[in-house]
Structure 1
Amino acid sequence: MAVEELVGPAPKGWKYKTLGEACKDGGGDIQTGPFGSQLHASDYVPVGVPSIMPQNIGDNRIIEDGIARITPEDARRLSRYLVRRGDIVYSRRGNVERRALVGHHEDGWLCGTGCIRVRLGENGADPRYASYYLGHPVVREWIVRHAHGATMPNLNTSILAACPFLEPPLAEQRAIAHILGTLDDKIELNRKQNETLEAMARALFKAWFVDFEPVRAKMEGRWRRGENLPGLPAHLYDLFPDRLVESELGEIPEGWEVISVDTEFDITMGQSPPGSTYNDIGEGLPFYQGRADFEFRFPKRRVFCTAPTRLAKIGDTLVSVRAPVGDINMALEDCAIGRGVAAVRHKTGSRSYTYHFMSSISDVFARFDAEGTVFGSIGKKDFHSISHIKPPRDLVLTYEKLAANLDDEVEKNEQESRTLAALRDNLLPKLISGELRVKDAEAFLKERGL
């Protein structure tokens, strides 16, 4: 039976087959993760072998943050479900078009309940090429269209096995994967650099405004006027007091105050415009409704609005005010915000201080998540009334000057990653279909210094 030519006619020397046939030819297979009866919620542990769940599947990568774990004993018991480098993992329900390529770091993790594992086999297609092929817009649409379910798409091994798969000669597969992988590797490097930069700014905020390390250093005689303390230049000495005093929030530096958030921050609660004002063609302002619109550090464009009712400015911190409450991001551009988002900015205009302050009160936001009857939320009155510690204005501005340099680098990396992602998404379907051949693509990237 002929296989559908899903991404166009096969170039000479290329061949269509089903994904199931490609796996079988290479000695691999397609397999679901363990059933719920094999692994219960009570089996998960704080430390152990990571278990890949649908929420851990990003766009061709596995997201480790918050991943569930199982004991080594359970991993041995469920050894047939462990993933290997080169496997591709799908979610069985919901966002079934997303897939993640298993790398060296994830080798030996569990393909968790709710996931499906695709294994091309040692003698089969190049796994990285296969992962890019499965990311072709037409292939993604095919998978969604064939997934069962009236209210939520459901994927199974039979559907994936029937997916048309275009297989070039192995050398060309590897060349295509190398070109697209070069772009993804740079994006991943930028992502890791941004994580490091943000961690530096967050650590500095915590040391100054949460743990009061400079104050404690002065109290204990570890820092004296005119001397440097690790991480603290001598000229900052006079910005910190040398005593802690009692307050309703515990010990705080002498001279600092406990006040409500709205005293120090301008807060704009989002409001959703009429549905008729939305579009996906770029008219109006980018519109962000909630957490789902957030990317790693900057919001991801999805919807635009021609008649916004509430606005956020470039550099405002965007806070999710509906479940999960307290997820944060920073606006890369002027945008419209819906009722699931609030825009916040310190009255000094300090964007970095605002961002890291909002991150530092995650435990407060978590309480509103837990108290929701159906789902967590925080209203204007409760948001405004959150108590916090007010440091001196000069200290806020000093922190801002240091942290803003780090945030500028984050923004630069993010902008570059967006450009690289757009280039990758433009090249991918042309390379996968054979419309653009490898040598032409290599010349194209060389002209751009990549």
Structure 2
Amino acid sequence: MADKQNLIWESSGGIIPEGWNLVSLSSLLENPKSMSVGVMYPGKHFDDGIPLIRVSDVKNGGVASKPDFCISADVDEEYKRTRLSGEELLITLVGNPGDCVIATQEMSGWNAARAIAVLRLEDPALRQWVRIVLLSGPSKHIIDSRLNTTVQKTLNLKDIRELPIPMPPASLRESLCSISKKFEEKCLINHQTNQTLESMAQALFKSWFVDFDPVFDNLLASADFKLENLETSLPDELKQKAQRRLAALNSLHNAAECKASLIALAHELQAQLPTKEATQSAEKGTETPVKANFNTNPNILAQHANTHAHFPNEFEHSEQLGWIPKGWKQKYLSDLLEVKYGKDHKKLDDGKYPVYGSGGLMRYAESFLYDGESVLIPRKGTLSNIMHINGSFWTVDTMFYTIPKVPKVAKFMFYHLKALDFAAMNVGSAVPSMTTKVLNSLELLFPSVEVLYKFDRVIEDYFNKIDFNKLNINQLESLRNTLLPKLISGELQIPDVATDEEIVD
């Protein structure tokens, strides 16, 4: 058995340094039955149920937040063999087979889906080392060679049991685990920061284009924040929303300052309204209106001068869309984006340009299909996987790409499409599918050019920070993937690469 394990490891590019042992993963289990797949039949979601970890919850080697799907207590009891205590190792069987998650105490009491293997090691302290090995080049090569690809890439429990695990002396193993953990902690911080930035961007879109917070702020300010001063013709629907927005403003720690700033802005905007004569001159082209700079008013906060000044303070009724900010228009997706089909990539050689399918990044190829800012929309498969790309890329036939017809519209459309329920628009039977006809006919509310450009500038700042963090992650992972194999093989010794902190700082 040992000779077979050695042959498998070495034929996959692995090295066994002197003083190390090579064992099968099964030999590290608590007992032969200490590896199981999770819940096979989860049933419907229960709001107050048991969190169920699915493959989609596993990102970057961890579970970033509490799963949004929960099973009933009865289902959890039926699959209690995979109920977590917080000392397990989880291995994905589909999606990205072989990805590993070290269960934490926060996950105690949760359960796992059938596409995840739950392992209990005799020594839970070895989980970090096993994870390092399984994410190494030789292990990935072995796992890829064992995948069942009949329907989708699937890793079997039998193959997991037989995976070879090189075991160094305990002191060296602890040092290598410590180095790896510091890399992962720094990568995790960057991932969490990006998740926060993405949440902030989505919240901003909802505030501006769904809840119309700046419009309600301006409307309330025009009435000195006294609801009784609002026009009696204001419909009950808008009055109720205005009441909720006023309550939100009053809950701010600097509510008085914000309201005073918005009132000052409302007065400035009123003073800037053109006279009848000025309007006539502008229409004749004899006078060009000058946009006021409200930042010069010390009573107006910068956030209001830079944002709220671009929004109206009134609503108007649209037969198609209901009550909308005054001056905003109804549009169709076809007015804003040209939807294009992806193409086959199989004949392309490897290269530097990313290739995307409905599941995400597939590979890098020698050529690109489009260069520029684009929103990618799945045609088949995971219809909700909307992506924003800015650069040179290729999409396959399961992913539409789009060409903006309006300047600065890509980010706005990205967040608009992400908010839609594409599952409800599925036109496929066996495989979820989308068509250009459905996409082009989508109706939406389109803001003024000033608001659109302002949104693009703000979101661009978020995207730049996210890209910078992604670059840091890639650099850390590249360094880790270069360093750890050399340490594992004995090519480098721990003293040769300074202290743990110096390696990753």
- Which TM-score band applies after superposition, normalised by the shorter structure? 0.7 to 0.9
Match of 1:337 in 2: 395
Q: 1:74 to 1:150 in 2, by over 3 A?
A: closer
Q: Distance in 2 between matches of 1:413 and 1:157?
A: 35
Q: Is the 8 A contact 2:38 2:118 kept in 1?
A: no
Q: Distance in 2 between matches of 1:379 and 1:188?
A: 37
Shift of 1:133: 0.7
Q: 1:83 to 1:214 in 2, by over 3 A?
A: same
Q: 1:202 to 1:229 in 2, by over 3 A?
A: farther
Query: Which of 6, 26, 31 is the matching residue for 2:35?
Result: 31
Q: 1:148 to 1:439 in 2, by over 3 A?
A: same
For residue 90 of structure 1, what is the amino acid of its counterpart?
I
SS in 1 for 2:62: coil
SS in 2 for 1:246: strand
The question of 1:226 aligning with 2:285 is answered: no
- The 5-angstrom pairing of residues 189-338 of structure 1 reads 189-220=189-220, 221=223, 222=225, 223-226=262-265, 232-234=303-305, 236-247=307-318, 248-263=320-335, 265-273=336-344, 275-276=346-347, 278-280=348-350, 282=351, 285-288=353-356, 290-293=357-360, 300=361, 302-306=363-367, 308=368, 310-313=369-372, 315-338=373-396
Match of 1:296 in 2: none
Query: Which of 356, 359, 368 is the matching residue for 2:425?
Result: 368
Match of 1:42 in 2: 43
Shift of 1:443: 5.8
When the two structures are aligned, how many residues end up with a matched partner? 426
Match of 1:379 in 2: 435
Q: Is the 8 A contact 1:28 1:119 kept in 2?
A: no
Q: 1:30 to 1:345 in 2, by over 3 A?
A: farther
- Provide the TM-score with structure 1 as the length reference: 0.83
Q: 1:47 to 1:304 in 2, by over 3 A?
A: farther
Q: Distance in 1 between matches of 2:131 and 2:198?
A: 30
- The 5-angstrom pairing of residues 1-150 of structure 1 reads 1-3=1-3, 4-5=5-6, 6=9, 8-24=14-30, 30-34=34-38, 36=40, 40-42=41-43, 44-62=45-63, 67-72=68-73, 74-76=75-77, 78-92=79-93, 95-122=96-123, 126-146=126-146
Q: 1:155 to 1:387 in 2, by over 3 A?
A: closer
Match of 1:424 in 2: 480
Match of 1:435 in 2: 491
Higher fraction of helix: 2
SS in 2 for 1:174: helix
Q: 1:445 to 1:302 in 2, by over 3 A?
A: farther
SS in 2 for 1:204: helix
Q: Distance in 2 between matches of 1:153 and 1:322?
A: 18
Cα deviation digits, residues 231-274 of structure 1 (max 9, x gap): 941454442222222211121112211121232x2434133046
**More moved, 139-148 vs 190-199:** 139-148
Cα deviation digits, residues 169-195 of structure 1 (max 9, x gap): 222222112212222212211111111
- Provide the TM-score with structure 2 as the length reference: 0.74
For residue 47 of structure 2, what is the amino acid of its counterpart?
P
Q: 1:81 to 1:266 in 2, by over 3 A?
A: closer
Shift of 1:449: 6.0
Q: Distance in 1 between matches of 2:77 and 2:131?
A: 27
SS in 2 for 1:214: helix
Query: Which of 471, 477, 491 is the matching residue for 1:415?
Result: 471
Shift of 1:116: 1.8
SS in 1 for 2:107: coil
Query: Which residues of structure 1 form unaligned runs of 5+?
Result: 294-299
Q: Is the 8 A contact 1:260 1:385 kept in 2?
A: yes
Q: Is the 8 A contact 1:136 1:432 kept in 2?
A: no
Q: Is the 8 A contact 1:133 1:432 kept in 2?
A: no
Q: Is the 8 A contact 2:52 2:67 kept in 1?
A: no
RMSD (Å), alpha carbons: 3.2
Q: 1:336 to 1:32 in 2, by over 3 A?
A: same
Q: 1:321 to 1:178 in 2, by over 3 A?
A: same
Match of 1:166 in 2: 166
Shift of 1:129: 1.3
Q: Is the 8 A contact 1:116 1:156 kept in 2?
A: no
Cα deviation digits, residues 56-79 of structure 1 (max 9, x gap): 444532365865322345435543
Shift of 1:409: 0.8
Shift of 1:95: 4.6
Q: 1:291 to 1:429 in 2, by over 3 A?
A: farther
Query: Which residues of structure 2 form unaligned runs of 5+?
Result: 226-261, 267-298
Q: Is the 8 A contact 2:38 2:111 kept in 1?
A: no
Shift of 1:43: 5.3
Q: Is the 8 A contact 2:377 2:386 kept in 1?
A: yes
